[in-house]
Amino acid sequence: MRKRELKNIEWSIGIIAIVLCIIGLVALFSATQEAELDEFNKQCIWLGISLVIGIIVMLIDYETLVKLSPILYGIFILLLIAVFFTTPVNGARSWFNIGFFSLQPGEFDKIVVILFLAYVITKIQARDKKEINKPLKLLLILVILAVPVLLIIKQPDYGTAAAFIAALIFMLITAGIDKKYILSAIILVVVAVPIMYNFVLPEHAKQRIDIFLNPESDPRGAGYNIIQSKLAIGAGGLTGMGLLKGNQTQLGFLYPKTTDFIYAVIGEEMGFIVACAIIILYVVLITKCLYVAKTAKDETGSLIASGITGIFVFHMIENIGMVMGLLPITGVPLPFISYGGSSLITNFICIAILLNISSKRQKTIFVK
């Protein structure tokens, strides 16, 4: 990588990611005492592996990854099909168990789909930017997204599936989709939500929505986790109860405290100040990601950066929102903080691609 490219890199993105990882490791250390730090130790290993993979990916030109994306897309579709033949974990067939590591293809597929969508959209707009608004071209893009999304819903994993949709929305807005499609999509969602709730969603998905609206209706059953999460955050106060001292965390009332509800652990033991600092860090990270999208040297880089931004935005809002009882529980991890090897590696690959895009950017802001 040339000196000019190194100078152009938006290093603050990588620094924020590492700071978030450190906060996550501190929370994991406190939350896994009774398990002899098993998940904490594994997460330290995954962080090391993620950094190495991230550096390797950063050195690969993102245009090369885009050219490979059709092949990668096909491979990961096959993996999403193959995962149905695995043993269910917590009722979902989402992982391949490889020794001590559980590989979740749906996580990595987020990157592959973003790259492939960028490839297809760029091809569509090669002659005319308005081609994206032709119904058949837009339908092609939706089909490309629908295949992995439907396979992931079948696992079932609604949270990961929703992340794909968030990425596409950001990419289509960047590509210049007509406002009439955005308005039509909003109307369609408003009409479809009650229909899906009554006739499409399985009972466990309906239950999550019902519990979100009224968790006290089943305080010892389906509403238990969210009630304990809100109690934990409330008990933390301004500065927290202190590491290893959170009642809900240390007494086992908060579950799963290392993945879905890690933010509640932070709120209880580190307090409002640290919890707010995390949100600020995410906002800065997202702002920097959007800046990379604006200053990318070409449309392809801009689309990829926008898609990755959509992933980060969705995960942050959904995880923190569900932990605070503001959104339904979907099992979406908090980027860089929640325990999980597949998630951590995926996030650092995203960061690496963003850094690569920023290294090639122009000095002036990319204007459509």
Has residue 346 got a pLDDT over 70? yes
Whether residue 287 is contained in a domain is answered as yes
Whether residue 56 is contained in a domain is answered as yes
Domain count, the chain: 1
pLDDT at 361: 79
Q: Which residues, in sequence order, are CB contacts of 293 under 8 Å at separation 6+?
A: 174, 301, 302, 303, 305, 306, 309, 366
Q: What is the CA radius of gyration of the chain?
A: 21
Q: How far apart are CA 241 and CA 232, in angstroms?
A: 10
pLDDT at 268: 96
pLDDT at 218: 79
Out of 98-112, 253-267, 308-322, pick the least confident.
Answer: 98-112
Whether residue 187 is contained in a domain is answered as no
| Average pLDDT along the chain | 90
CA dihedral of residues 324, 30, 332, 235 (deg, nearest 10): -10
pLDDT at 129: 84
Q: How far apart are CA 104 and CA 343, in angstroms?
A: 8
Out of 194-198, 326-330, 346-350, pick the least confident.
Answer: 194-198
pLDDT at 364: 44
Has residue 368 got a pLDDT over 50? no
Q: What percent of the chain has pLDDT over 90?
A: 67
What phi, psi does 171 have (nearest 5°)?
A: -70, -40
Whether residue 242 is contained in a domain is answered as yes
Question: 344 pLDDT band (50/70/90 cuts)?
Answer: very high
Whether residue 191 is contained in a domain is answered as no
Range of the structural domain that residue 141 is part of = 3-178+215-359
First to last CA, the chain: 28
Helices (H), 125-261: 135-154, 158-175, 179-199, 203-213, 224-236, 247-250
Whether residue 221 is contained in a domain is answered as yes
H helix count then E strand count, the chain: 15, 2
pTM as predicted: 0.92
Q: What is the mean pLDDT of residues 257-265?
A: 94
Whether residue 197 is contained in a domain is answered as no
Task: Tell me whether strands 101-103 and 96-98 are parallel, antiparallel or unpaired.
Answer: antiparallel
CB atoms within 10 A of CB 237: 13
pLDDT greater at residue 144 or residue 6: 144
Q: How far apart are CA 84 and CA 300, in angstroms?
A: 33
Q: What is the mean pLDDT of residues 329-344?
A: 92
Q: Which residues, in sequence order, are CB contacts of 40 under 8 Å at separation 6+?
A: 25, 28, 29, 32
pLDDT greater at residue 112 or residue 7: 112
CB atoms within 10 A of CB 242: 13
pLDDT in tens, 51-98: 999 999 999 999 999 999 999 999 999 999 999 988 887 777 888 887
Q: What is the mean pLDDT of residues 314-340?
A: 92
Q: Quick one: CA dihedral 335, 204, 145, 182, positive or negative?
A: negative
Tokens 């550096």, located at residue: 55
Q: Tokens for 254?
A: 């908060």
Has residue 170 got a pLDDT over 70? yes
pLDDT at 100: 67
pLDDT at 363: 53
pLDDT at 362: 67
Distance of CA 343 to the CA centre of its chain: 8
Whether residue 185 is contained in a domain is answered as no
Q: What is the mean pLDDT of residues 221-239?
A: 91
